[in-house]
Amino acid sequence: MKNVLSVAAVSLAVTAVFALSVTPAFAESSKKLTDDADIITSSQEETIENNLKKCTLATGWDTIIYTNNNNVDSYDMEDYCNDYFDNHNYGCGDKKSGVMLTIDMSSREMYIITKDEAMYCFSDARTDDLLDSVQYELSSGNYDGACDEFVETVEQYYNAGVDTSKDASYSNIIEAQLTPLEKVIKGFLYGIVFMLMGGLAGFLVSLGVRYAYGKNGKGANYDLDKNSSLNLTESRDQFLYKNVTYTTVSSSSSSSSSHRSHRSSSSHRSSHSSHGGGGRHF
């Protein structure tokens, strides 16, 4: 009996140590609902949190809802959401698969970000349908309903799998940005490929021309010196026109330069991870 008790005690101790070692790591990524804008009713927070966790377990996609009052402009919303997802270490598995709904109450902007495996279950049409549903609930002030709609639709798209319909498109997917060195290497490889393709095309054209001329046989020769003559009957010089060019030389002190502010049209992304999704104003 003592041996049984000692074994049980050791087992409990090992289990407790293991639980202590893994609990902090799990707790950091366990919170799925962050309601900084305080728009979710207290009675519904626990329900939505549990639904997000169930969706995460069922799909293998970290399902997140984040509300705030940060007044993020629509132009920057995509980068903001992508960075928020990455910086908070969200995502399941090595590839960090996940889906996140961000609601900014100050700017009245919403954005859905999809990561890794989830990207390919959210085609353009599916993303638009989800945005329509969530936008309607938010515009109506039904914030709890917007969260429920988001979770239900994520599970629906997971069960449906990748959209393989004929008109499915995925223009919302932004692949990971390359580093400057990777861009140079990629450009160099593309250059080599295009050079080889151009050389092959030129070679095939030259073969076609040679073949065409070869079929026509050898052309006849015409003796120009023997069969032509030239007799000059008159020779004279005639003045045609006069051309004068004037050049104005100005001192360097009289020159002026203007400075204009320029805003680049290209967007800068601080995060290099691949993602998909889309956003709306509500």
Q: Name the amino acid, one letter, at 23.
A: T
Number of domains in the chain: 1
Q: What is the pLDDT of residue 74?
A: 82
Check whether 266 has a pLDDT greater than 70: no
Q: What is the pLDDT of residue 218?
A: 57
Check whether 223 has a pLDDT greater than 90: no
Does any domain span residue 46? Answer: yes
Q: What is the pLDDT of residue 36?
A: 97
| pLDDT band at residue 109 under the 50/70/90 scheme | very high
Q: What is the pLDDT of residue 241?
A: 63
Token pair for 32: 């799925």
How many CB atoms are closer than 10 A to CB 149? 20
| pLDDT band at residue 256 under the 50/70/90 scheme | very low
Average pLDDT over residues 22-50: 79
**Which residue range forms the structural domain that includes residue 142?**
29-178+273-281
How many CB atoms are closer than 10 A to CB 91? 22
Name which residue leads in pLDDT, 30 or 275.
Answer: 275
Does any domain span residue 152? Answer: yes
Does any domain span residue 66? Answer: yes
pTM for the structure as a whole: 0.58
- For 183, phi then psi, to 5°, come to -65, -40
As a whole number, the mean pLDDT across the chain is 76
CATH number reported for the structural domain that contains residue 65 in this entry: 3.10.310.50
Check whether 219 has a pLDDT greater than 60: no
Q: What is the pLDDT of residue 175?
A: 54
What pLDDT, in 10s, does the model give residues 128-140?
999 999 999 999 9
Does any domain span residue 41? Answer: yes
Does any domain span residue 131? Answer: yes
Average pLDDT over residues 229-237: 70
Q: How many Å apart are CA 101 and CA 233, to the nearest integer? A: 94
Does any domain span residue 258? Answer: no
Contacts of 120 (CB under 8 A, 6+ apart): 162, 170, 173
